[in-house]
Amino acid sequence: MDWGQRIEDNGPKGLAMSVSLSTEPIKPGQWRGVRHDWTRAEVRALFELPFPDLIFEAQRIHRLHFDPREVQISTLLSIKTGGCPEDCAYCPQSIHHETGVKAEKLMALDAVLVEARAAKAAGAQRFCMGAAWRSPKDRDVGEVCKMVEGVKALGMETCVTLGMLTDAQAGRLKQAGLDYYNHNLDTSPEYYGEIITTRVYQDRLDTLKAVRAAGIHVCCGGIVGMGEGIEDRIGMIATLASLPEHPESVPINLLMQVEGTPVSKGQSTDPLDFIRVIAAARITMPASVVRLSAGRENMSEETQALCFLAGANSIFYGPKLLTTPNPDQNRDMRLLDKLGMRPMSD
């Protein structure tokens, strides 16, 4: 880009917006359009910005692509709980950890649709379904396809997270009408082996590739607070922002420490450090919906407000996230109302 070039972009609701750059060289992290070549040095420079500068840049970029007053509302349902053979150090559903979560069978279609109707009535736009599998069997995919079709018939967006997928399984989900597939990278490539040993980082990337090839939107983010260092947070954001296509949804989770999991005794995360991750995700992936995901139950209203200011524009709505608590929906609506914000329109 030439110095001083004027950027034209479409703002919220199609309103033309523009940003005039100064004649000074662009500094790391300054707006240069949607990029897929973010280096760790550039992402590190974002994390090192003074907090007011970082939030200002994140909010400015956020306004180029979204209405800053709107928040997407999604609901997450565990359709198959517990008994997962993976050893993810943060997950209470793993068979490797004594957390009191019992293995259950896949929910019946009718029961799932009852939950979906209730979620829609409560204002959710997207209905997400999670199953504790390493990878689903083909017969299980068939049952999930029926759930996807049923939820789509209600007029809601659909998302599932089922573990690793084959190309053929991704294709079947696409034919059923699946909108989004969630498969988080969790952390940096370097720290991944400290959190999970039953699969490798490339397995994650291969599933994302299969989902993309099938034409399904990607929901992919990570977790903060598992004992990782700042360089691991930088590496996670740099990896996500350097994918050939950015995930359409980027969930940023604050670890919910569950007794019995290996990371349940981890150190607490400074709220301002967490907010920096949100802001870095917004700046590096400007057109993606950044979801403030797990951990809100333990966040103050002030922390959540700063997360929205840093570019988060999606939350999970409802009393539970798979097996861990989530803020009451009335509490969420009171907070949004207090902030002058509202659920994202269809």
| Res 264: pLDDT | 65
pLDDT value at position 257? 67
pLDDT at 8 over 60: no
CA–CA distance, 296 with 255 (Å, rounded to integer): 10
Find where tokens 């995930």 sit.
247
- pLDDT value at 99 more than 70: no
pLDDT for the residue 327: 52
Q: Could you tell me what percent of the chain has a pLDDT over 90?
A: 54
To the question of pTM greater than 0.85 for the whole model, the response is no
Catalytic residue numbers read: 84, 88, 91, 128, 159, 219, 291
- Per DSSP, helices labelled H in 76-108 are none
Mean pLDDT (whole number) for 260-268: 70
pLDDT tens digits, 167-176: 999 999 999 9
pLDDT score recorded for residue 346: 59
Cβ–Cβ < 8 Å for 63, 47: no
pLDDT score for 123: 81
Interval 14-46: pLDDT, tens: 333 333 333 343 343 444 578 889 999 999 999
Closest CA to 233 of 268, 286, 279: 279
In Å, how far from its chain's centre is CA 159?
12
Per-residue pLDDT at 104 = 80
pLDDT band at 57 (very low <50, low <70, confident <90, very high): very high
**Residue 189 pLDDT > 70:** yes
pLDDT at 51: 96
pLDDT of residue 9 exceeding 80:
no
> How high does pLDDT run on average in the chain?
83
Residue 342: count of CB within 10 angstroms of its CB: 14
